[in-house]
A and B are shown apart, each in its own frame.
Chain A
Amino acid sequence: MRNLIAATVAILLLGTRLSAQDWTVPDDRKGRLSTFAFDDNTRTTGERLYTANCKSCHGTPGMDNWLRLVPPPGDPAAEKFQQNSDGEMFYKIVTGRGQMPSFRTVLSANEIWALISYLRSYNTGYVQQVMQLITSSAYPGAEIRISLAWNSADSTVDISATAVKENSSVAVTNAEMQLMVQRRFGHLALDEPRNTDSRGFVRFRLPADLPGDTAGNVLLMARFTDEETFGSAGKDTVIRAGMPVNAASLVAPRAMWNTARKAPVWIILTYLGGVFVAWGFIMLVLLKLRDIYIIGENSSVNKQ
């Protein structure tokens, strides 16, 4: 009997937990702030990112035309959405939940802050607070700086992390680092994550056949995997470490999916040939009708 009551209570509790749609953000993440001040520039960037990544679900802010998903994405201009602190918004965009995708590997921290700056432009009462330093629980009060060096000779990347506080600086040791390359959607992790050594250094080897842009440039991004401990400091660098890739545009050659001008030759010939032959014969038949007419006219003239 007691078991039954316990089970019932448990189910009830579970029920209320499930029905509570609240999306709670860990306390230490709530207060997170952008390191730069929001301005028209960041808002423009944010709008572009919003259109590309969010609009399909969240709709045009202020129009309440978000996709009817369950739970609902909600309108970014609505009060429920704007109630989120900057840190809460950041956390939700990074982690995602249910149908809301995680943008952790898709957008950089700066891009997410730019997005938030755009979303906040729909909130007239909003006053931004800026944080100068990225907090790190391991190095309280310090600013963590990451540098990245590319050795073309052996195709390796050396990354060093230092925590700077006032005038002193120490190496960030034993911190797991991840190196990623920016791809078209999301980022590609290179190698396994590695820990920094006692001097704060970590070395990654780049594959020889890493595809770059037409010049061989790739955007490398170094991050701590454990953002909570080491903060979200990162380093984004464009270097010429990849293979130049001259991907032919898919719409350059003649193809089935291309425009009429770039249709495959065989299909143009088949179409035009078919039309020509069919209508050629139709014309021939019409000419024969003319012959019938002429014969008839001549023979009736003859009779008279």
Chain B
Amino acid sequence: MNSGNPAKLIIKNNIIPDLMAGTIFKSERYRQKVESVSADILRNVSLNRGFLLWMGFLTAVLLACLYAYTVQLREGLGVTGLRDITSWGVYIANFVFFVATSLVGMLISCVLGLSGAKWVKPIARIAEIIAVAFAAVAGLVIISDMGRPDRLPYVFIFGRFQSPILWDVTVVTTYFFVSLLLWFLPMIPDLAIAKDRLPGRPAFLVKAYGLLSVKWVDHEKQFEILHKAMRILLILIIPLAFAIHTVTSWLFAVTPRPGWDSTIFGPYFISGAFVSGTAAVIIAMYFFRVSYRLEKYLSDFHFDRIGRVLILVSVLYFYFNLNEFLVPGYKLKTADAIHLRELFAGHHAILFWSVQLFGLVIPAILLLFRPLRKPLPMLVISVVVLAAAWLKRYIIVVPPQAHPHLPAQNYPVEWILYKPTLIEIAVSVAAIVLVLMIITILSKLFPVLPIQEIAEEEALAKNESA
């Protein structure tokens, strides 16, 4: 056990299938636990009526929104509120929001997982589902902002290594794949467990489980390899996650506009990403806890812990906000002054202050009280935080464009003051619907909690108490 490899020890204790506990897998206790846990968790794996109705509803909304997109394709970006001066609107705000939220996969699985927080075990897969869904759609959102989407391949054909766009496309794709693997790899033992325990489910699903479980037989060697693979991914995802959101922030920071001209945009974006991602995970946890009846596994304890994480990342984000607004606000350089005045007391003041207060300061204070770190209050808080996180991206993206360094004189006012059109809103809703569809499919067709790990932990716990 004391092999002298601390990294291995730490990882072993957490979200990775326990390799040293090989003996436990042969015990009767473990086998009983697998039966009871898998019964609880696999109960939800089905294409039941609720699932079909929900997916049908999402599909209908999606189709309606896609119609809006066909209008945009036919007529061009003129049907949006985007014009010469403000050329990035809700699409790009949506994109930044999506990339941000997807970062929570890294936060939960790696930062917390690697640092030895045991309670993240049941949450890690939910976090990865969110990461996969948001990262997958983030790429599509970018395409909706293109006037000529048919020219997307040009990014690769004529792409310049110097352009943050090429880096962004590359990093989003890579992050998506690694998140997918981080979701899939720890699930392999579960798929093997589940493939014989899904009576009455569609044959294709059972067959898919068989294929995806890559002949998993709980062999000690298999655990060892899985363990190594996970360690590679967990370390790889950290620089990737930092890269994906730092590069996204550079799309702004390298563009000379007053509100974007910032050296701390990278960490500012990343800390903000943790806030919105954690809120998204809490909402998902609440949903699965209630509608999948998993109160036993997603307990008050887990909510309490992730509530503390939300406080921590909010304080961190608050710190970066302070830097981002106080320093330019103190100097008030000509161009910054126009922009900041609009935010603090002008056109965007109400939005700005509500987002900062209700999306950041007040939630963090409320969560300090233990009774508010219970599932239902946390759901309410997280919904507000997530909505504010979206609006915060809007504040980051849109207002700075109205005040370019070269004054935008003598333009029609609607070219400068951006207002999203109905078409734009519909296309953005389509992206959100797609995210929900991916989350639904991943969490309804596959076990949403790690069966094997929970069973193992319960068996071990019993061992100890015995």
Residues of A whose CB lies within 8 Å of any CB of B are 67-70, 99, 256-260, 263-264, 267-268, 271, 274-275, 278-279, 281-282, 284-285, 288-289, 291-297, 299-300
Q: Check A263/B219 contact, CB under 8 A, given A282-B181, A285-B229.
A: no
Among B162, B225, B233, point to the contact of A264 (Cβ < 8 A): B162
Is A300 touching B232 in the complex (CB atoms < 8 A)? no
Q: In whole angstroms, how far apart are the Cα atoms of A68 and B177 in the complex? A: 49
Is A289 touching B214 in the complex (CB atoms < 8 A)? yes
> Which residues of chain A are within 8 angstroms of B160 by Cβ–Cβ distance?
259-260, 263
B398-426 vs A, Cβ < 8 Å mask (1 yes, 0 no): 00000000000011100000000000000
Q: Check A293/B240 contact, CB under 8 A, given A69-B410, A260-B159, A282-B178.
A: no
Shortest 5 CB-CB contacts between residues of A and residues of B:
A296-B215, A288-B229, A263-B161, A293-B214, A260-B160
Distance in angstroms from B165 CB to nearest chain A CB is: 12
Is B167 touching A292 in the complex (CB atoms < 8 A)? no
> Which residues of chain A are within 8 angstroms of B222 by Cβ–Cβ distance?
292, 295-296
14 CB contacts below 8 A, A to B, read A69-B410, A263-B160, A271-B161, A278-B178, A281-B236, A282-B174, A282-B177, A285-B232, A288-B226, A291-B225, A293-B214, A295-B221, A295-B225, A296-B217
Is A279 touching B174 in the complex (CB atoms < 8 A)? yes
Is B214 touching A296 in the complex (CB atoms < 8 A)? yes
Among B161, B174, B240, point to the contact of A267 (Cβ < 8 A): B161
Is A70 touching B216 in the complex (CB atoms < 8 A)? no
Q: In whole angstroms, how far apart are the Cα atoms of A259 and B236 in the complex? A: 30
Distance in angstroms from B409 CB to nearest chain A CB is: 8
Distance in angstroms from B180 CB to nearest chain A CB is: 10
Is B215 touching A297 in the complex (CB atoms < 8 A)? yes
Q: Check A292/B215 contact, CB under 8 A, given A69-B410, A260-B160, A267-B162.
A: yes
Q: In whole angstroms, how far apart are the Cα atoms of A271 and B164 in the complex? A: 11
Among A70, A256, A260, A294, point to the contact of B410 (Cβ < 8 A): A70
B293 within 8 A of A: no
> Which residues of chain B are within 8 angstroms of A69 by Cβ–Cβ distance?
410
> Which residues of chain B are within 8 angstroms of A299 by Cβ–Cβ distance?
217, 219
Is B214 touching A278 in the complex (CB atoms < 8 A)? no
Is B412 touching A68 in the complex (CB atoms < 8 A)? yes
For B226, the closest partner residue in chain A by CB is A292
Is A300 touching B215 in the complex (CB atoms < 8 A)? yes
Residues of B whose CB lies within 8 Å of any CB of A are 158-162, 166-167, 170, 174, 177-178, 181, 185, 188, 214-217, 219, 221-222, 225-226, 228-229, 232-233, 236, 240, 243, 410-412
> Which residues of chain A are within 8 angstroms of B411 by Cβ–Cβ distance?
68
> Which residues of chain A are within 8 angstroms of B221 by Cβ–Cβ distance?
295
Is B158 touching A260 in the complex (CB atoms < 8 A)? yes
Is A268 touching B161 in the complex (CB atoms < 8 A)? yes
> Which residues of chain B are within 8 angstroms of A70 by Cβ–Cβ distance?
410
Q: In whole angstroms, how far apart are the Cα atoms of A69 and B159 in the complex? A: 37
> Which residues of chain A are within 8 angstroms of B410 by Cβ–Cβ distance?
67-70, 99
Distance in angstroms from B408 CB to nearest chain A CB is: 13
Q: Check A256/B162 contact, CB under 8 A, given A284-B232, A288-B225.
A: yes
Is B215 touching A293 in the complex (CB atoms < 8 A)? yes
Is B181 touching A257 in the complex (CB atoms < 8 A)? no
- With most chain B CB atoms within 10 A of its CB, the pick from A257, A289, A292 is A292
Q: In whole angstroms, how far apart are the Cα atoms of A300 and B188 in the complex? A: 17
Q: In whole angstroms, how far apart are the Cα atoms of A278 and B170 in the complex? A: 11
> Which residues of chain A are within 8 angstroms of B215 by Cβ–Cβ distance?
292-297, 300
Distance in angstroms from B187 CB to nearest chain A CB is: 12
Distance in angstroms from B239 CB to nearest chain A CB is: 8
- With most chain A CB atoms within 10 A of its CB, the pick from B214, B216, B233 is B214
Is A296 touching B229 in the complex (CB atoms < 8 A)? no
> Which residues of chain B are within 8 angstroms of A292 by Cβ–Cβ distance?
188, 214-216, 222, 225-226
> Which residues of chain A are within 8 angstroms of B177 by Cβ–Cβ distance?
282
Distance in angstroms from A72 CB to nearest chain B CB is: 10
Distance in angstroms from B170 CB to nearest chain A CB is: 6
Q: In whole angstroms, how far apart are the Cα atoms of A99 and B410 in the complex? A: 11
Is B219 touching A285 in the complex (CB atoms < 8 A)? no
> Which residues of chain B are within 8 angstroms of A281 by Cβ–Cβ distance?
232-233, 236
Q: In whole angstroms, how far apart are the Cα atoms of A296 and B222 in the complex? A: 8
> Which residues of chain B are within 8 angstroms of A296 by Cβ–Cβ distance?
214-217, 219, 222
Known: A67-B410, A292-B222. 16 other contacts (CB 8 A): A256-B162, A257-B162, A260-B158, A263-B162, A264-B162, A271-B166, A271-B167, A275-B170, A282-B174, A282-B181, A284-B229, A292-B225, A292-B226, A293-B214, A296-B219, A299-B219
